[in-house]
């Protein structure tokens, strides 16, 4: 273990430059003004939220928003995603609240991660407390585990087959594998921060050392950095993928959406 690292700890950082935060806040204000909506919550969803950003990583801003009441009374379905063109390193996109609650009913892991982001740009604390409470109720271990294993298998198959591999792709496989382990251990919704996952789930000291070494390089190098295979990490990934089987019942029936309907109505009326 590096002298700079406490035993059992995993490198992590969430760098958000003040000028970037200001740009994000202005982008959210512009969206509200242009589309007559209220942004309820905005966070980092990518590597800066996971804690292993490179210096040139994008800022992946994701947000939830709500329209005024008349928008919800139209006969025809309305557009429920709001995305800005990617500008420099700023990637901003969000979901309308009704869409988000439909996804929550399906225990969508991406939405659950947003709500756990360590980098929050903006939030209505009362309303986000409500949706976080609903998220706890609607989390599905079967669906969550399936999501993370499918993500790990896809990234491993598409990006880690050569002798030279892109550093960040190791993390794009490790993170979902550790999240799946977290669920298997009955710990509930996995945390968004990679360090929280690794510190709890990785017990092999050699593997943890190699993960920290990988993170140290990744957090200093560019997004496109390649290296030879990392033996402990690669062996762990292959072992985990070989042993994991997806439960065929992961598409279990959805529950009663009455509480989600009530939350949507309360929120829309509150901002209208």
Q: Are 42 and 123 in contact (CB under 8 A)?
A: yes
Cα Rg, the chain, nearest whole Å: 20
Q: What is the pLDDT of residue 29?
A: 97
Give 124's DSSP letter: -
Q: Per mean pLDDT, which range of 78-87, 107-116, 176-185 is the poorest?
A: 78-87
Q: What's the whole-number mean pLDDT along residues 109-128?
A: 94
Burial of 24 (0-12, 13-18, 19+ CB in 10 A): buried
Which residue did the predictor score with more confidence, 265 or 126? Answer: 265
Give 191's DSSP letter: P
Read off the tokens for 108: 């969508």
Burial of 72 (0-12, 13-18, 19+ CB in 10 A): middle
Confidence category of residue 67, pLDDT binned at 50, 70, 90 = very high
Q: What is the pLDDT of residue 256?
A: 80
Q: What is the pLDDT of residue 2?
A: 40
Q: Is the pLDDT of residue 1 over 60?
A: no
Q: What's the whole-number mean pLDDT along residues 36-47?
A: 96
Q: Are 20 and 90 in contact (CB under 8 A)?
A: yes
Q: What's the whole-number mean pLDDT along residues 93-117?
A: 95
Q: What is the pLDDT of residue 8?
A: 79
């Amino acid at each position: 273990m590096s002298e700079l690292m406490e035993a059992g700890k995993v490198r992590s950082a969430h760098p958000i430059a003040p000028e970037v935060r200001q740009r994000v806040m202005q982008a959210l204000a512009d969206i509200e003004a242009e589309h007559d909506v209220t942004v309820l919550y905005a966070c980092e969803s990518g590597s800066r939220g996971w804690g292993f950003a490179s210096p040139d990583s994008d800022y992946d801003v994701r947000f939830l928003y709500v329209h005024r009441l008349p928008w919800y009374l139209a006969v025809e379905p309305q557009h429920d995603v709001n995305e800005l063109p990617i500008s420099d390193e700023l990637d901003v996109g969000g979901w309308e609240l009704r869409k988000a609650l439909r996804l929550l009913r399906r225990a969508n892991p991406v939405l659950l991660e947003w709500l756990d982001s360590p980098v929050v740009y903006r939030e209505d604390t009362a309303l986000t407390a409500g949706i976080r409470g609903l998220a706890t109720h609607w989390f599905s271990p079967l669906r969550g585990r399936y999501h993370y294993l499918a993500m790990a298998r896809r990234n491993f198959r598409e990006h880690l087959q050569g002798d030279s591999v892109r550093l960040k792709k190791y993390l794009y496989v490790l993170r979902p594998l550790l999240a799946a382990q977290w669920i298997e251990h009955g710990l509930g919704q996995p945390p968004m921060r990679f360090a929280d996952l690794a510190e709890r789930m990785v017990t092999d000291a050699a593997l943890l050392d190699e993960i920290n070494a990988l993170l140290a390089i990744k957090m200093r190098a560019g997004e496109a950095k390649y290296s030879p295979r990392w033996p402990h990490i690669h062996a762990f990934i292959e072992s985990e993928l070989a042993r994991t089987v997806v439960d065929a019942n992961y598409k279990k029936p959805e529950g009663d959406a009455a509480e989600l309907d009530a939350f949507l109505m309360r929120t829309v009326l509150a901002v209208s």
